[in-house]
Structure 1
Amino acid sequence: MRRLVSAKRSMVKAITYRMVVMCLDFLTIYLFTGALHIALGFMVASNLYTSVAYLLHERIWAQIGWGVHEM
């Protein structure tokens, strides 16, 4: 029997993960630059493309049976 992971679960997981990373991105860039607009700009740009990449990566791995064991 194969374990199925729903697309909705992957989407929620991706969103919550990106929220954490967005906060870390903002904080790091703000601490390095002291510029609010630079930190916000980096946070938005970076998280648009990395969110899509993470979701695609998650969905691909959800289809791979390697390392998944049924109990």
Structure 2
Amino acid sequence: MESRVRSVTKAVVWQVIGLLGMTLVGLVMTGSASVAGSMALMNAGIGFAMYLGYERLWQRIQWGRIAR
């Protein structure tokens, strides 16, 4: 089991990567840095919450784990 701090750190790093990717996609699709940034920030907020919840949920599931 991992700590909450580790889960949050992983989620933040993942969201930074996603933020950069979504900004690029938004910029290519709209041609507007402002709209692209807004889209990326909204996506990052939603994605962060969903990823964190997903990670914490899987920490409670024992299926597929190998005992050490």
* TM-score, normalised relative to structure 1: 0.87
Structure 2 residue aligned with 1:24 = 21
SS at match of 1:59: helix
RMSD over aligned Cα atoms? 1.0
Give 1:56's aligned amino acid: G
Query: Using the alignment, how far apart are the partners of 1:70 and 1:22 within structure 2?
Result: 36
* TM-score, normalised relative to structure 2: 0.91
Q: How many pairs does the alignment contain?
A: 68
* Superposition map of 1:48-63 within 5 A: 48-63=45-60
Cα offset, 1:70, TM superposition:
2.7
